[in-house]
Each structure stands twice: as C-alpha cells, then as structure tokens.
Copies of this chain bind each other. A is one copy, B any other.
Amino acid sequence: MSTSLYDLTIPIFIRNLESLDAVLSKGEAFASEKGIDPSELLEARLYEDMAPLISQIQRVSDSAKGTAVRLGGVENVVMADEEKTFADLHARIAKTIAFLKTVPRDAIDGKEEAQVTLQTPRQTFDFTGLSFVQTFVLPNFYFHMTTAYGLLRMKGVPLGKLDYLGGI
C-alpha cells in the first residue's frame, strides 16, 4: 500500500480550484448584495506590501500549473496575469482546471527521485520530486488558497472552513 504523487497533486489541485471558484462566487454575491465595489474585494490585501486577492488566485493557478510543468515535464500553458474582474478570475480557474485535466497520470507518478530545480529571481532551489511536492508545492499552493479565503473573510464575506475545504 502506498500513495502516488499524481493523487497528491493534480486531482487535489482540481478539487481545490473548484472550491476556490465557489468561494469567489460567494465574494461576488456578497459585493453585489451589499452594494460594495467589487474592486474592494479584488484589490484587498492583508498588508500594504502583500499581494492582493487577484494575485493570490493567479498564484494558486501558477502553483498548480508549475507542478505539472516542473514535475511532469508537460508544456506550460502561459497565462498572462491580466485578470481584473471576478469573471476574469473564474475564467482563469476554469482554464487552469482544463489544463490540469490534460496532465497524464504517468507524467507525475514515479517521479519521487526526479531532479527538480526551481529558479526564483534571487535563488535556485534543488529538490527531488518528492521533496518538491512535500516542502514547496503543497505548502505554497495552500498558502495562496488560504490567503485568498482570508482576504474575503476579512472583508466580511460569509464563509466558513468547510467552504475552504470543499465541503469535505
């Protein structure tokens, strides 16, 4: 009995992107009901130098796509970070899910010992496939999921943990 890297990543990303889409819809409905300008939610930040809600959604998308690309060797579908509205964000989520659904199981499974390199503007990080998923992919993916949820909660959107967890 063991666990496969595919099962830990691609279907989990799809599941969470679906939850995030529903969470965003609750934010959108709240803004509409309360007569709040949608940009108040879309541009919300926890702190002045932190990324706003729109960027948190883009990073959830990139984090999922980047796993397929870096671990699975799948060709990236570049998304230009031009979202400005709730409708744009729903479309970004839908495109990300459609891309993830094209990733074959065997591109990811068995890659525990593959070499994975992550280059950031400041540093290069070397991982195995397993350590990449354990210590970067999952904490980073949920970081942006949680921050998006927290920003909407902070603005008063009626959400609970089960919304974040996709109803489990």
User: Which residues of A are in contact with B by a Cβ distance under 8 Å?
Assistant: 1-5, 7-8, 12, 15-16, 46-47, 50, 109-113, 125, 127, 130, 133-136, 138-140, 142-143, 145-147, 149-150, 153-154, 156, 161, 164-166, 168
Docked-complex contact A143 and B140, CB < 8 angstroms:
no
Docked-complex contact B12 and A3, CB < 8 angstroms:
no
Assess A46 versus B153: contact at CB under 8 Å? Given A2-B2, A139-B142: yes
How many copies of this chain are found per oligomer?
A: 2
Taken together as a complex, chains A and B put the C-alpha atoms of A138 and B134 apart, in Å, by: 10
Interface residue SS majority, chain A: helix
Docked-complex contact A140 and B165, CB < 8 angstroms:
yes
Docked-complex contact B161 and A143, CB < 8 angstroms:
yes
Docked-complex contact A168 and B2, CB < 8 angstroms:
no
Taken together as a complex, chains A and B put the C-alpha atoms of A116 and B1 apart, in Å, by: 16
Given A143-B146, A143-B161, A147-B150, 15 other A-B residues pairs in contact with their CB atoms under 8 A: A1-B113, A2-B3, A2-B4, A3-B4, A3-B8, A3-B112, A46-B153, A47-B156, A135-B165, A135-B166, A136-B165, A139-B142, A139-B165, A140-B161, A150-B150
